């Protein structure tokens, strides 16, 4: 039996091979778009209101899906319009090898892992797949997802796992160091595969660090469903046509391109219970000091 893929590889394959809810007025598809044609879920965090009536600066904090299909025009726009200085890639090694980011002149590339290998498939899952393969059963993508979910994959505690693991804490801590080191006149882009889970948690952490309220944080998170609306419709149709019933459909979509509020709500609740607040998590778990928080606000708010 070939070696079973770890969590990050399975997640990426499910997202890439299988093909927003109501938001506040300041969090809309049009207002946040980066206007890229080859990159999915491409938007920015600028314009959101923070404490004391300040707003997040436009064109500086950029979030997207993977960049492998970025067109020449997209790259030119990132460099000339946004003055991109740093590209943060939250994907694992296998994901990066399969779909590498384009090399952009003058842009620093940082590959920061968020997923912990221990979050991968269990021995029981690997054993069941091995048994099915020995029986000559073809493990197609839907079967693979169904088995992975059977053994606890893609639950609404997934973001809690990101934030609580040692790898996740180290990764997001390094991300904040990149934010603190960003040149005054440059932008930072951060992404994973589909720009919704690891990237969504990164965006959530930045916004809370800048003093943006929870309602806006959730609105930005759910905006993925507006950007991915056509893709989500295609995925639902694909699943239905391939025998996934209504009772399973929502569960399957959790592994694909749709986001669900419970994932982020559970993460925020966990940070509040464990550290007093999301900001408490940022300072207590990621090593970001109060002085760093002020530096971030001085840099990214206006």
> Model confidence over 183-238: pLDDT tens digits?
999 999 999 999 999 999 999 999 999 999 999 999 999 999 999 999 999 999 99
Residue 58 to residue 187: CA distance in whole angstroms: 10
Q: What is the 3-state secondary structure (H, E, C) of 3-32?
A: CCCCHHHHHHHHHHHCCCCCCCCCCCHHHH
User: Which residue would you say has higher pLDDT here, 263 or 19?
Assistant: 263
The model's pTM:
0.85
Please determine, for residue 35, whether its predicted confidence score (pLDDT) is greater than 60: yes
SS3 state of residue 188: strand
SS3 state of residue 301: strand
Going by the DSSP 8-state scheme, the letter that residue 86 receives in this structure is E
Please determine, for residue 240, whether its predicted confidence score (pLDDT) is greater than 50: yes
Order across the sheet with 108-111: list the strands. Answer: 43-44, 61-64, 187-191, 84-89, 108-111
| Confidence class for position 14, pLDDT limits 50, 70, 90 | very low
Q: Identify the CA nearest to 64 among candidates 26, 91, 83.
A: 91
Of all residues in the chain, the percent with pLDDT exceeding 90 is 70
Query: What is the predicted pLDDT for the residue at 8?
Result: 42
| Confidence class for position 291, pLDDT limits 50, 70, 90 | very high
For the segment 259-278, the average pLDDT, to the nearest whole number, is: 98
Asked whether 212 and 279 are in contact (CB, 8 A), the reply is no
Domain ranges of the chain: 7-19+34-300
Of all residues in the chain, the percent with pLDDT exceeding 70 is 87
Query: What is the predicted pLDDT for the residue at 6?
Result: 42
Q: Identify the CA nearest to 195 among candidates 74, 52, 90.
A: 90
Q: Identify the CA nearest to 245 among candidates 254, 232, 236.
A: 236
246-263 pLDDT tens trace: 888 888 898 889 999 999
Residue 148 to residue 125: CA distance in whole angstroms: 7
Please determine, for residue 9, whether its predicted confidence score (pLDDT) is greater than 50: no
Name, in order, each residue with C-beta under 8 angstroms of 170's C-beta and a sequence gap of 6 or more: none
The strand pairing partners of 191, in sequence order, are 64, 89
Question: Which CATH architecture does the domain made up of 7-19+34-300 adopt?
Answer: Alpha-Beta Complex (3.90)
Tokens representing 109?
A: 């590339």
Half-sphere exposure (Cβ direction) of 68: Cα atoms closer than 13 Å: 13
Please determine, for residue 15, whether its predicted confidence score (pLDDT) is greater than 60: no
Going by the DSSP 8-state scheme, the letter that residue 102 receives in this structure is P
- State the helix-helix crossing angle for 198-209 and 166-180, rounded to 10 degrees: 50
Residue 27 to residue 20: CA distance in whole angstroms: 10
Tokens representing 236?
A: 């639902």
Please determine, for residue 302, whether its predicted confidence score (pLDDT) is greater than 70: yes
Going by the DSSP 8-state scheme, the letter that residue 56 receives in this structure is B
Tokens representing 83?
A: 């003055």
Please determine, for residue 274, whether its predicted confidence score (pLDDT) is greater than 80: yes
Query: What is the predicted pLDDT for the residue at 19?
Result: 40
Please determine, for residue 7, whether its predicted confidence score (pLDDT) is greater than 60: no
Q: What is the CA radius of gyration of the chain?
A: 19
| Confidence class for position 29, pLDDT limits 50, 70, 90 | low
Q: What is the mean pLDDT of the chain?
A: 88
Residue 154 φ/ψ region, left for φ over 0, alpha for ψ in the -120 to 50 degree band, beta for the rest: left
Cα first-last separation, the chain: 56
Query: Quick count: other Cβ atoms within 10 Å of Cβ 213?
Result: 15
Query: What is the predicted pLDDT for the residue at 16?
Result: 44
For the segment 13-18, the average pLDDT, to the nearest whole number, is: 42
110-148 pLDDT tens trace: 999 999 765 555 567 677 777 877 787 777 778 777 777
The lowest-confidence range among 14-23, 97-106, 123-132 is 14-23
Tokens representing 274?
A: 């464990």
């Amino acid at each position: 039996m070939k070696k079973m893929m770890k969590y990050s590889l399975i997640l990426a394959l499910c997202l890439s091979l299988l093909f927003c809810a109501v938001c506040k007025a300041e969090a809309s598809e049009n207002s946040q778009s980066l206007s890229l044609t080859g990159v999915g879920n491409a938007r920015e965090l600028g314009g959101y209101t923070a404490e004391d009536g300040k707003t997040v600066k436009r064109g500086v904090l950029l979030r997207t899906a993977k960049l492998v299909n970025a067109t020449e025009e997209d790259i030119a726009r990132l460099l000339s319009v946004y003055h991109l200085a740093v590209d943060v890639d939250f994907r694992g090694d296998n994901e990066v090898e399969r779909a590498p980011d384009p090399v952009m002149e003058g842009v620093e590339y940082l590959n920061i892992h968020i997923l912990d290998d221990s979050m991968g498939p269990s021995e029981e899952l690997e054993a069941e797949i091995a048994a099915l393969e020995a029986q000559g059963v073809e493990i197609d993508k839907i079967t693979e997802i169904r088995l992975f979910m059977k053994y606890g994959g893609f639950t609404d505690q997934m973001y809690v796992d990101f934030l609580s693991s040692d790898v996740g804490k180290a990764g997001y801590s390094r991300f904040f160091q990149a934010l603190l080191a960003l040149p005054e006149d440059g932008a930072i882009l951060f992404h994973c595969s589909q720009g919704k889970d690891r990237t969504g948690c990164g965006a959530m952490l930045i916004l809370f660090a800048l003093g943006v309220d929870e309602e806006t944080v959730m609105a930005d998170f759910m905006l993925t469903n507006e950007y991915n609306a056509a893709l989500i419709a295609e995925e639902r149709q694909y699943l239905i046509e391939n025998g996934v019933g209504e009772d399973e459909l929502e569960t399957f979509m959790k592994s694909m391109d749709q986001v669900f509020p419970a994932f982020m709500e559970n993460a925020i609740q966990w940070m509040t219970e464990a550290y007093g607040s999301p900001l408490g998590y940022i300072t207590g778990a990621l090593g970001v000091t109060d002085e760093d928080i002020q530096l971030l606000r001085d840099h990214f708010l206006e």
